[in-house]
Amino acid sequence: MPKGYVVAHIRVQENDVYEQFKRMAGPAIAEHGGLVLVRNPDGDYREGGLRGSVVVVEFDELAAAQQFYESEAYTAARRIRDKAAETDLVIVEGLD
């Protein structure tokens, strides 16, 4: 079964508030079996206009990634993140 991935580009404006988001998001990720593969604010951008920290989280399957995103814990964390940053986020299924 293919894995599920959450891929985000996050442009932080309020570092202190964003740190609060990270403290809240971590347990929500773990609760759904997620593993943070990438968290890098200094990507080597070659094409396109997306900028910011790149975050990639792997889940055992697409449904787990979707359940994580829709969970109460992550919804609460997102509300905090939205006060601190602009985010582009996609949930995708990996290859078999």
Which tens digit of pLDDT belongs to each residue from 62-71?
Answer: 999 999 999 9
Taking only the tens place, the pLDDT of each residue in 2-45 is 999 999 999 999 999 999 999 999 999 999 999 999 999 888 99
Alpha helices by DSSP H, the chain? 15-31, 62-70, 72-84
| pTM, 2 dp | 0.94
Place of tokens 């508030």: 17
Per the CB < 8 A criterion, the answer to whether 38 and 54 are in contact is yes
Choices 3.40.50.1820, 3.40.630.30, 3.30.70.100, 1.10.10.10: CATH for 4-43+50-93: 3.30.70.100
Q: What is the pLDDT of residue 41?
A: 87
Q: Which two tokens stand for residue 5?
A: 């991935």
Q: What is the pLDDT of residue 42?
A: 86
